[in-house]
Amino acid sequence: MTNNTATKTGLVVSAHSADFVWRAGGAIALHTSRGYNMHVVCLSFGERGESAKLWRKGEMTEENVKAVRKEEAMAAADVLGASIEFFDMGDYPLRADKDSLFRLADVYRRVQPHFVLSHSLHDPYNYDHPLATHLAQEARIIAQAEGYHPGEPIIGAPPVYCFEPHQPEQCNWKPDVLLDITSVWEKKYQAIQCMAGQEHLWEYYTRVALQRGLQAKRNIGITAAKTLTHAEGFQSIFPRVTEDLS
């Protein structure tokens, strides 16, 4: 149950190939800068549901769209310093069978993550998102079981965080963690700019980062962080274990 690698690791499970950028790009860049190995799994390319601009160009095929989306995602991961892989499970609707579940469980076993990021547990605008989270959760449970691939090193109990959905209140998403991403904001914005097909979201998520930044300042203790400007919000699924409450 131990992690023999010296380096800490984090795992991001993204329903579509751009979600990890808008919603967790700061967390990825920040932990990379702190020495973590960050790994992203994109379950689909968002080829049907999140590539409107590409489809409107006309003369597109699903294969073309997927290729463009893959390239964008790889470029963004590269900027953020993360490794990335694609499950190509299809979107709108995303559907997971046992094979996908085991494939993801195997990623957990390989990566041995110290924390996991995925989508909110509810999203009335996007059914693929919660499905991704539940897949991430169930794969984590399987990777913890001694009886799955007996003999292989199991994983511990990494905390799982839900990153911010597009309309947070409508998804019953409530952040209990505000991550200070000020030091890596420039990198996140650079990654955002890799998403040429969704330019209308660039400023939206810049504003999200600024709002969460100001909220983080409001929630900081006695030693005020005057320089904090950008943040990302996360909702924990599990209680955290600690030895200090300040």
Stretch 40-59 residues interacting with a copy of itself (CB under 8 A): 47-49, 51-52, 55-56, 58
Dist. CA 16–CA 134, nearest whole Å: 15
Q: Contact with a copy of itself (CB under 8 A): which of 25, 81, 158, 165?
A: 158
Nearest approach in angstroms of CB 98 to a copy of itself is 7
Applying CB under 8 A, what is the total number of residues that bind a copy of itself? 97
- Nearest residue (CB) to a copy of itself, 83 versus 211: 211
Quick check: 207 binds a copy of itself (CB under 8 A)?
yes
Nearest approach in angstroms of CB 193 to a copy of itself is 19
Of residues 66 through 95, those in contact with a copy of itself by CB under 8 A are 92-93, 95
Nearest approach in angstroms of CB 127 to a copy of itself is 5
User: Looking at beta carbons, which pairs linking 86-90 to residues 24 or more positions away fall under 8 Å?
Assistant: 86/17, 86/41, 86/42, 86/45, 87/41, 87/42, 87/43, 87/44, 88/44, 88/45, 89/43, 89/44, 90/44, 90/47, 90/48
Q: Report the SS3 class of residue 88.
A: coil
Crossing angle of the two packed helices 128-143 and 98-111, in degrees rounded to 10: 60
Look-up of token digits 């799955």: 148
Quick check: 237 binds a copy of itself (CB under 8 A)?
yes
